[in-house]
Every structure is written in structure tokens, then in C-alpha cells.
Amino acid sequence: MFACLRKLKDSKYESRSFLNDAKKELRVFDFVVEDTLSEIFELRQIVAQEGWDLNFLINGGRSLMMTAESESLDLFHVSKRLGYLPSGDVRGEGLKKSAKEIVARLMRLHCEIHKVAVAFDRNSYAMAEKAFAKALGALEESVYRSLTQSYRDKFLESERAKILWNGHITWLRDDAKSGCAEKKLRDAEERWKKFRKAVFWVEEDGGFDINNLLGDWGTVLDPYRQERMDEITFHELYEKTTFLKRLHRKYALAKTTFEKKRSKKNLQAVEEANARRLKYVRDWYDQEFQKAGERLEKLHALYPEVSVSIRENKIQETRSNLEKAYEAIEENYRCCVREQEDYWKEEEKREAEFRERGNKILSPEELESSLEQFDHGLKNFSEKLMELEGHILKLQKEATAEVENKILSDAESRLEIVFEDVKEMPCRIEEIEKTLRMAELPLLPTKKAFEKACSQYNSCAEMLEKVKPYCKESLAYVTSKERLLSLDEDLRRAYTECQKRFQGDSGLESEVRACREQLREQVKQFETQGLD
């Protein structure tokens, strides 16, 4: 150890080049972590909110179909009820007509849902959604790798702390430092457990009961869905995009009204709606441009030698021929209509057969209740159907809207950058650690020698403690005890010299330690926020 300390006085160990490089890399890493996490959160808002309307439409269509086939309504088997009524009964014919109209509207609704889904799949939304899934996968992998390495590092620190601060060297004991190392290890372990549960659904005991999860999958996912929905809806970006969509829909509605009836009043309504929409869009882009400028200034401060040019992202044309896809959907719809007409004819026959020879088990009161329930169910079903039909009209405009595609195209481009930054996170952390190890390289031989001496001292002290009850009066034991005390004094003197040298004018050890603590805080922030 003293030989290592003498080498430290050489002028070649006074260089700060590696330490300066590490500090610069830390500043860059700090910016990248903050910028990347804020970007991916904001872009999640855009992509998730854009998909909500489509998912609402798809899930609404599925829910309506389940209601139509439910036992309470049973829309496709009206003969079970109407067969009790006489042929040509006014009430029965009215219910039958309503049922057929609703089924026709339901079929048309599913046709339009399919069209909207195809349009969304061919526009910028699909590209942005894929880019977000890719970036999120990279974030998941980076957090996993970072958590794994953090746990290993904290475990090693904890074991070192036990040797140095919890050993048999009384003057070196420090419960605070040992407890701090243990606390850091527990924190890393908690983050790792949270990651396992959030990503792999692994419980505290390490078990994974797939049967219980599948049996009540909705209950398991509901808290996460609600938490995600709250994060999105309470964000200021949600209000901005919602207001923008509302303005765009008002403009589309005014434009449609004007095309149906060309009048000065309707033309004025179109112009006013368009002016409000464009003003809000310009304000939106001005704010986004200002934010981009602020980020650019930070980047320029980190990389002053790199020249940066600003370019406007252009919408990539990724849509194929929608007309062909729509025609295929329409052809399938027409085929379904023909099949449904044949089905109604068969249903008429079943109704007549049931009227003549069927086993009629319902009493008049039960029949009246059943018919009232059916009539009420048809009216409720029609209202829900009307709500989704109105929702489709909105989405049909949005699927091909220039503003929507511009926002999503920009989001896709930003997500590509986020993906690259997230993917490089573990490499950035490893590079900073490597630079810090190079910076403290002159100190490592001394520190390693001291740790090794402490470990050997603890081993010797433990062996003497074991044999003390049997030979504490023997000459060999007394001699060994004296040598151990002498070693204790040498260690104290070496430690004092180390502290004096390390904390002297150069302060290399304290600066490296401060940089490493800063890095670990940044890594912890990345792991915690990335996991959330």
C-alpha cells in the first residue's frame, strides 16, 4: 500500500483528462435521460389518444353484437316470440320490421368499422403505433439491463461495506456507511421486483399462476389500464389534442353541410370553422417549434462543435390504394346482405311452423312481458347503434385528415430518435463507468491493496476468536495477537495516509466518487421513470 501511495506522487497521475471526459459524458447522459423519458411520455399521449376512438368503435361494435346475440334480446331468432302471434299481426309485423332494420344497420356499421380500421392501418397512425411499440420494447429491454447491472453493483458494494465498515477493525467501523450500502441494495431489489411484476407478472414469492391470471385477466389489468388512462387524460397535451379534434370535426361538419346546401350562411360557417382550426394549428406548431428550439439550444451547448440544420419533416405517403380495400369490404358486405335475406326467409318459415305446430309454453302474461322486453331492447339497441354511427362519421374524416396525419407523422419521426436514444442507454452507462474507472486508475492499486489487507485482517481476527477459548495463554496465541495489533496500527497509518493523499489538493478520489454518485442517481431516475 505504501509503495502504491509513493507512485501517486508522480506527476503523470495528476492528469484530469479522463475525469473531464466523464463529467462531459454525465452532462450529456443527464440531458438524454430527461429528454428521452419526457419525449416517450408525450408521444405515448399522442399515439394512445389517437387509438382510443378507433378502439372505442371496435369494442363498441363487438359489444353490440354480443347484445344482439344475448338471451335477453336474441335479435336473430325473432320467431321464438312472434310465432305466438297470429299471422299478419300488426304488432308482430312492426317488431319484425324494426328487428330487420336494426340488423341491417348493424351489418352496415361493421362494414364501416372495417373501413375505418383499414384507413387507420394505412395512414400515419399505424406507422406511429409501430414506432411507439418498437421504442417501448427498447425501453423495456434497456431498463431490464440497467436494473440487472444496478443490482449486481449494489450487491458488490454491500459486500465491500461489510468487509470495510462491519469487520473486526474497530476504528474503521461505520454503521451509517454500511447501512447506506444495504439500503441501496434493498432499493435496487425493490425496483427489480416491481419490474418483474409489471412486465413478467411474477409475484413476490417468484410464482406465476397463469390459471388464476387467465381466469380473471380483466381484474388483473384494470388497475394498470386505469392508471394509464389517468396519466393520459390528466396531461395538458390531452386537452390540446382533444380541442384540436373538436375544431377539426366542427370544420368537417360545416363543410359537409355546405356541400349539401350551398348558401352564404353555410359558406360563412365553413370559413369561420376553418379559420379557428388553422389558428389553433398555427399556435400549436409555434409552441412545438419553440420547444424544439429550446432542446436544440441544450444540444448545442453539449456539442458546440457540431453544426445543426433545421428541416421540416414531410409526411410519408404510406397508404396503398384504399379504394381497392374498400371495394373488397363492400363486396363482402353485399354477400352478407344476400345471406341475411336468405336467413330472414328461413326465419319466416320457422315462425309459421312454430305458429302451427310449436309447443307454446308461455302464458299470455309471460308473452306480453316478453314482447315488451323485446320492444324495449330494440329501442335501447337502436340508441346505442346511433351513437356508434355518429362516432364513425367523425372517424371517417379523421382517418384521412391532413392535420391528424401531420401530427402522427411527426410523432413517428420523433419515436425513431427516441428508439435510438433508448437503445443506447446501457452503452452510455457502461461508457461512463469505463471512463470513471480510467480516471481512478491511479487510485485503484492502493484501494484494492487496502481492501485486501482489511479482508485478511478480518480473517485472522476471526481465526483468533475461534481458538481463544482453547489456547489464549499459549505463546503462539499471544504472539499472533501482538502481530495482529501491529497490523492494526499499520492499517490505521496507511488509511490516514490514503485519506490525506486522496483528499488532498488533487481530490481525485472525491471527484470520482461524486461523479459516480451522480451517475447512479441518473440511472436510478431512468430505471424508476422508465418502469413507471
Q: Which residue did the predictor score with more confidence, 102 or 477? A: 102
pLDDT for 214 beyond 50? no
Q: What is the pTM of this model?
A: 0.65
* Residue 326, in any domain of the structure: no
Looking at 251, 285, 318, the residue that finishes a domain is: 318
Q: What is the pLDDT of residues 412-432, one digit of tens each?
A: 888 888 898 899 999 999 999
Helices and strands (DSSP H and E) totals, the chain:
17, 0
What's the pLDDT score for residue 255?
Answer: 80
Q: Is residue 424 part of a domain?
A: no
Closest alpha carbon to 96 in 83, 82, 110: 82
Residue 451 maps to a domain: yes
Alpha-carbon distance of 54 to 216, in angstroms, equals: 25
Average pLDDT over residues 304-322: 53
Give the integer Cα–Cα distance in Å for 426 and 145.
7
Mean pLDDT of the chain: 79
Q: Which three cell numbers stand for residue 511?
A: 471527484
Provide, for the chain, the percentages of residues in helix, strand and coil under a 3-state DSSP scheme, each rounded to the nearest 5. Answer: 85, 0, 15
Domain assignment present for residue 342? The answer is: no
Cα 361 vs. chain centroid, distance in angstroms?
A: 56
Q: What CA–CA distance (Å, rounded) separates 65 from 57?
A: 12
CA–CA separation, 25 and 507 (whole Å): 20
| Poorest-pLDDT segment among 25-39, 315-329, 386-400, 401-415 | 315-329
User: What domain range includes position 260?
Assistant: 235-318
486 is a domain residue: yes
- Residue 454 covered by a domain: yes
* 303: in domain: yes
Q: Which of 26-35, 326-335, 339-348, 489-498 has the lowest mean pLDDT?
A: 489-498
Cell numbers 396503398: residue: 320
Domain end point (choices 255, 289, 318): 318
pLDDT at 332: 92
Number of structural domains (the chain) is 2
Q: How far is CA 83 from CA 91, 94, 233, 350, 366, in A?
A: 12, 14, 50, 8, 14
| Position 194 in a domain | no
User: Which of 266, 295, 318 lies at the terminal end of a domain, its last residue?
Assistant: 318
Which pairs count as long-range contacts for 295-299, CB under 8 Å and 24+ apart, including other chains?
Answer: 295/35, 298/31, 298/35, 299/31
